[in-house]
Amino acid sequence: MFWWLVIGGTIVWIIVIGLAVYATRVRRKKHERRQAAILIIGGGAVIPTIILAGYLTYGLAMLPDLLEPAPQGSVRIAISGEQWWWRVHYFTDDGREVELANEIRMPVGEPVQFYLESPDVIHSFWIPSIGGKMDMIPGRVNRLKLEPTKTGVYRGACAEYCGTSHALMSFYAVVMEPDAFEQWLEHQAEPAAEPADPLAVRGEDVFMENGCGSCHAIRGTTADGVVGPDLTHVGSRLSIGAAVLPNEQDDFFRWVAHTDEVKPGVHMPAFEMLPDDELTALSAYLEGLQ
């Protein structure tokens, strides 16, 4: 379709420029009224209608294939656009459901079925290098099928203005070899490992004592909040805060202490009242959730 549009657009452009040169350089005289009317109606309405109708028919003929759901056994991912992050659910063939956030991974060369929705405002899910965008509309589930052809890390974004931090609502999409993908998903389905490092152990206490678990879930602990992103394996992600900060211990510190500066309007309160040593311990714990 891209090439047909390029070819068609080039031909139309050459004809229009040719006519303009002809009218200004070669035949510089007034048209008769009737001739001018034919030119305007023909060139301005009839010909564009025919050309665009042709392209529309061609484009519509492609739709059934794009709307066809991915075959049975394909990876299925439900994504919910939140203000301003992504809630991600993987469904596996054996009926398990794994909740993640702000990062998706896909096997290369296989169709992946997405189910897109939103609990609040309209967002739009878009990984430009892999496929077209699709709106996430409250009250309905939109389906999108993507089939990545190359492994790599791709940037995704929210493509519909959704409030203060719309521009800070991004994510990474990682396309992996199928085996590596399976391993990754297996690992993500597991509960969080107990922290070993004393600093991280202290960090877990800070997390629990300050009520973080009423908004965030960490599977395998008592933290089971559903308001914010699931943090079970937050340390294994490429970024934090929906791709606004890299995933380093310092970045966790900055995020927790100055949440609203990093992401204006965010629902999570900043915990700048916590002493630095507690924030450091908390950051070590979160970073260690691999």
> Total binding residues for ligand CUA by CB under 6 A?
9
- CA gap 81, 117 in Å, rounded: 6
Site pattern 71..100 for ligand CUA (x: CB under 6 A): ----------x--x----------------
Q: How far is the CB of 228 from ligand CUA (least distance, A)?
A: 16
Residue 84 or 114 having the CB closest to ligand CUA: 84
Residue 83 or 283 having the CB closest to ligand CUA: 83
> How far does CA 159 lie from the centroid of its chain?
8
Q: What angle do CA 139, 91, 162 make, to 5 degrees?
A: 35
- CA gap 34, 40 in Å, rounded: 10
- CA gap 195, 1 in Å, rounded: 53
> How far does CA 166 lie from the centroid of its chain?
12
**Residue 30: DSSP 8-state:** P
By CB under 6 A, is residue 166 in contact with ligand CUA?
yes
By CB under 6 A, is residue 123 in contact with ligand CUA?
yes
By CB under 6 A, is residue 160 in contact with ligand CUA?
yes
**Cis link prior to 84 (omega < 30° from 0)?**
yes
By CB under 6 A, is residue 278 in contact with ligand CUA?
no
Q: How far is the CB of 167 from ligand CUA (least distance, A)?
A: 8
**Interface stretch with ligand CUA, choices 42-50, 157-165, 205-213, 216-224 (CB under 6 A):** 157-165
Residue 81 or 156 having the CB closest to ligand CUA: 81
Q: How far is the CB of 68 from ligand CUA (least distance, A)?
A: 27
Dihedral of alpha carbons 183, 184, 190, 192, sign: positive
State which of residues 88, 158, 175, 282 lies at the interface with ligand CUA (CB under 6 A): 158
Q: How far is the CB of 158 from ligand CUA (least distance, A)?
A: 3
- CA gap 242, 157 in Å, rounded: 9
**Interface stretch with ligand CUA, choices 13-21, 35-43, 153-161, 224-232 (CB under 6 A):** 153-161
Residue 136 or 192 having the CB closest to ligand CUA: 136
Q: Which two tokens stand for residue 131?
A: 């496929």
- CA gap 131, 57 in Å, rounded: 21
By CB under 6 A, is residue 263 in contact with ligand CUA?
no
Residue 84 or 90 having the CB closest to ligand CUA: 84
Q: What angle do CA 33, 39, 43 make, to 5 degrees?
A: 155
Q: How far is the CB of 121 from ligand CUA (least distance, A)?
A: 7
State which of residues 112, 116, 168, 169 lies at the interface with ligand CUA (CB under 6 A): 169
Our CA dihedral for 11, 15, 21, 22, rounded to 10 degrees, sits at 150
Is the separation of the CB atoms in 206 and 270 below 8 Å? no
Closest CA to 8 of 50, 37, 44: 50
Residues that bind ligand CUA (CB under 6 A): 81, 84, 123, 158, 160-162, 166, 169
